[in-house]
Amino acid sequence: MQSHTLEFSQPAHLVAKSLIGRRFLVSGCGGIIVETEAYAPDDPASHSFRGPTARNKAMFGNPGTAYVYRSYGIHWCLNFVCTCGSAVLIRAMEPHWGLDVMRERRDVSDDRSLCSGPGKLTQALGVDGGFDRWALDQYPFELGATRIDDLNILSGRRVGITRAVDIPWRFGLGGSPFLSRPFN
């Protein structure tokens, strides 16, 4: 069995779970998404919680577009916009396509650290702020229309936040060695 094409106009936590196990490429580089987090408009941990700003404008744009923001002044983080003010942070992937290019961008010896975190993943994929608001169904993005069902999908607390810490909107592929960190 396989699921249908991903519909972004639904609650972000459903999209986040549906993205696990799905193929995602940027200009031919990428792999299988193994970890995501959902953020919602009424969610104190979400960038959109206090309304639009120059940075988070993309979160209020069209479903199925990218929201790329700078994290801690250094890294880039990639989100998929869902309903208005909600998005899914792509936290980790199992790298599979364009490995040589991604290894060159990341300069690490262990493939497990190529995409095992939101900042690592954007560096490996070559994603930066210039991709903000771009449509995810057009090149250079390629998102798998189907995926294997019956995956062992774990959920838990989101990483690196201080508000709404008990909302279990982090999702991951059980047993994957490519997670940013284990689930509890």
Partner DNA sequence: CCGTCGATGTACT
Partner DNA sequence: GTACATCGACGGC
Which spans of this chain sit near DNA (rule: CB under 7 A)? 37, 39, 45-48, 50-51, 53-56, 59, 67, 70-75, 77, 79, 87, 89, 106, 108, 113, 117-121, 158-163, 180
Mark out the alpha helices in the chain (DSSP H runs). Answer: 12-19, 99-106, 118-125
Of 1 and 54, nearer to DNA (C-beta) is 54
DSSP-derived letter for residue 158 is P
Taken in order 154, 145, 28, 90, the sign of the CA dihedral is negative
Query: How far apart are the C-alpha atoms of 182 and 114, rounded to whole Å?
Result: 16
Q: Considering the complex, what minimum distance in angstroms separates the CB of residue 136 from DNA?
A: 15
CB of 119 to DNA, least distance (A): 3
Least distance CB 149 / DNA (angstroms): 26
* 169 closest CA partner among 44, 7, 23: 44
Query: Which is closer to DNA, CB of 23 or CB of 56?
Result: 56
Among 90, 48, 37, 83, smallest CA distance to 63 is for 83
In the bound state with DNA, the residue whose beta carbon lies nearer, of 66 and 145, is 66
Helix axes 99-106, 118-125, angle to 10 degrees: 120
Minimal distance, residue 44 CB to DNA, in Å: 9
> Which lies closer to DNA via its Cβ, residue 14 or residue 45?
45
